Chains A and B, each alone.
Chain A
């Protein structure tokens, strides 16, 4: 039923995302009023405004949008895969692996692309570890996968602490910012946005199949779903999404857990609606969080992960309390 009524929430979320971006590029040292912002985005405006917005703030805003969207979709996928609303790429240790990869690169004294590449490799290594070990001798249940992920995540946690303890003091601030999630060193947003769009396109025809999978693997198999290949595909997609996000922005927690859950409370659990809604709402949330991170104690900047947690925790608790489910 792809009628207007089902699509309306997506239109609203897209609008919210656009508004958040306009607000985000308008804010900062040397604020630009929103009308001028729109003018710059359509090709007009003064050269100073153009540099400020198009070269500095817009890439960062797009990075924030991509990171939020990637993490929220990854979280939603993990939750369907494990049929557990607490599942999240962070709980499963994917971001822990990425963090260890990134910190090791920083410890070795490299910067930029090498840190990102190392983070990506760490996330994929964590994926292989969790899935390989959870499978063990055949049985491959959600609770086993979740437990394996949690244990491996705490292993990564210990390694992170070890690296921080060994690191020279001069490198610590950069490491801490990376661990808390930080967009100020984000590279080009386009690869991440491309990954987000591609994964959403791959997922679109799978929406109803994912709804069936959410009823449990046996029920799904009885309704004609090839469960095992589908589960591998979801896990792989969620891993790529997470790895892309942490590569761009470090570990921003909380988005993958909270955004899908909040949307489910409001929109129900049809994956055809929830997955694109997660991409839009996660993106909008992180754009706003990053704007706040830039202006709250300006000219200093906060790590965006702090803001997502400070905003997300009360909103989440309020929705949970009010819904009474």
Chain B
């Protein structure tokens, strides 16, 4: 179990003067949603947390150790990331793509063994893409590719899961299935950190919320404290109607 923490962290967005420094710790068992309009730095924040993008100031800590001081290999054993867009330069099958997730755990000269293969096949089952096992990834639909990418992260099996808009391209059923899977992972001791555009997914499935405002303002806390109409209307500059369904608030934009 690993704690992901931001210590006085200011992400580096070109052309932005300053921002509220982030001081937060995502604990095992928590599911964090990052909400904010386009261009506020949700993706940059995820990349910064993963150590793939330098911060303007402050530090990202994994169990108290600065990410920028760790080797990539050590980071990749604790923290994994599903990107918003993926490159499929060369054709590869679904199984090969998912097996890539074992890379951090294998010595460089070692071939993938039976255990790695079993982990990959379980991940394919969990994301409902086992029937696509031998298909080429570049022939799949957007939603199927998204599930393959999440299956790759499941195969990597880090303590910290960062996902950039995991609901993208997914149909309703698979959105619910993926959010259910992420919650189950959090229950088993993982920390999950997502960028989302869907307020209602955040309201139903996330324990904590971080709001990123366009000017660099930010606030964060337990979901029920953060998901209040006034804050969200200011966040998106959009009037909202709030109703309650199935024990969670549902936000509908005013026409």
Q: Which residues of B contact A221 (CB under 8 A)?
A: 52, 72
Most buried by B among A215, A216, A218, A221: A215
Q: How many A-B Cβ pairs are below 8 Å?
A: 82
Chain A stretch 72-92: residues in CB contact (< 8 A) with chain B: 83-85
- Name A's interface SS: loop
Nearest CB in chain A: distance from B44 CB, A = 12
B204 CB-CB contact with A under 8 Å: no
Nearest CB in chain A: distance from B14 CB, A = 13
**Is A224 a contact of B104 with CB atoms below 8 Å?**
yes
Q: Which residues of A contact B219 (CB under 8 A)?
A: none
Q: How far is the CA of A214 from the CA of B100 in the complex (A)?
A: 11
Query: Which of the residues A204, A212, A218, A268 comes within 8 Å of B103, measured between beta carbons?
Result: A212
Query: What's the tally of chain B residues with a CB closer than 8 Å to chain A?
Result: 34
Nearest CB in chain B: distance from A215 CB, A = 6
Contacts known (A208-B106, A219-B86, A219-B87); A224 close to B52, Cβ less than 8 A: no
**Is A269 a contact of B91 with CB atoms below 8 Å?**
yes
Q: Which residues of B contact A268 (CB under 8 A)?
A: 91-93, 96
**Is A223 a contact of B100 with CB atoms below 8 Å?**
yes
**Is A205 a contact of B109 with CB atoms below 8 Å?**
yes
Contacts known (A214-B89, A269-B90); A208 close to B103, Cβ less than 8 A: yes
Q: How far is the CA of A118 from the CA of B87 in the complex (A)?
A: 39
**Is A270 a contact of B96 with CB atoms below 8 Å?**
yes
Give the residue name and chain of the B residue nearest to A6 (CB): B111
Q: Which residues of B contact A1 (CB under 8 A)?
A: 111-113
Interface string of B15-31 (1 = CB under 8 A from A): 00000000000000000
Interface string of A76-118 (1 = CB under 8 A from B): 0000000111000000000000000000000000000000000
Q: How far is the CA of A79 from the CA of B74 in the complex (A)?
A: 28
B240 CB-CB contact with A under 8 Å: no
Q: Which residues of A contact B97 (CB under 8 A)?
A: 215
A158 CB-CB contact with B under 8 Å: no
A209 CB-CB contact with B under 8 Å: yes
Chain A stretch 195-234: residues in CB contact (< 8 A) with chain B: 204-206, 208-209, 211-212, 214-216, 218-219, 221-226
Nearest CB in chain A: distance from B104 CB, A = 4
Interface string of A164-184 (1 = CB under 8 A from B): 000000000000000000000
Query: Which of the residues A204, A212, A222, A269 comes within 8 Å of B52, measured between beta carbons?
Result: A222
A144 CB-CB contact with B under 8 Å: no
Contacts known (A223-B101, A223-B103); A85 close to B90, Cβ less than 8 A: yes
Q: How far is the CA of A212 from the CA of B102 in the complex (A)?
A: 10
B6 CB-CB contact with A under 8 Å: no
Q: Which residues of B contact A215 (CB under 8 A)?
A: 86-87, 89, 97, 100
B83 CB-CB contact with A under 8 Å: yes
A5 CB-CB contact with B under 8 Å: no
**Is B90 a contact of A209 with CB atoms below 8 Å?**
no
**Is A223 a contact of B76 with CB atoms below 8 Å?**
yes
Nearest CB in chain B: distance from A44 CB, A = 41
Q: How far is the CA of A147 from the CA of B74 in the complex (A)?
A: 35
B75 CB-CB contact with A under 8 Å: yes
Q: How far is the CA of A1 from the CA of B120 in the complex (A)?
A: 14
A47 CB-CB contact with B under 8 Å: no
Q: Which residues of B contact A214 (CB under 8 A)?
A: 89-90, 92
B136 CB-CB contact with A under 8 Å: yes
**Is B83 a contact of A218 with CB atoms below 8 Å?**
yes
Q: How far is the CA of A306 from the CA of B167 in the complex (A)?
A: 53
B187 CB-CB contact with A under 8 Å: no
Nearest CB in chain B: distance from A207 CB, A = 8
Q: How far is the CA of A272 from the CA of B112 in the complex (A)?
A: 12
Q: How far is the CA of A208 from the CA of B104 in the complex (A)?
A: 11
Interface string of B67-79 (1 = CB under 8 A from A): 0000111111100
A136 CB-CB contact with B under 8 Å: no
Interface string of B52-80 (1 = CB under 8 A from A): 10000000000000000001111111001
**Is A212 a contact of B100 with CB atoms below 8 Å?**
yes
**Is B77 a contact of A211 with CB atoms below 8 Å?**
no
Nearest CB in chain A: distance from B157 CB, A = 12
- Show 13 residue pairs from A and B whose CB-CB distance is below 8 angstroms, ordered by the A residue: A1-B112, A83-B89, A85-B89, A211-B96, A215-B86, A215-B87, A215-B100, A222-B50, A222-B81, A223-B100, A225-B72, A226-B71, A269-B91
Q: Which 6 A-B pairs have the closest CB atoms?
A: A224-B76, A83-B89, A216-B87, A224-B73, A224-B104, A205-B109
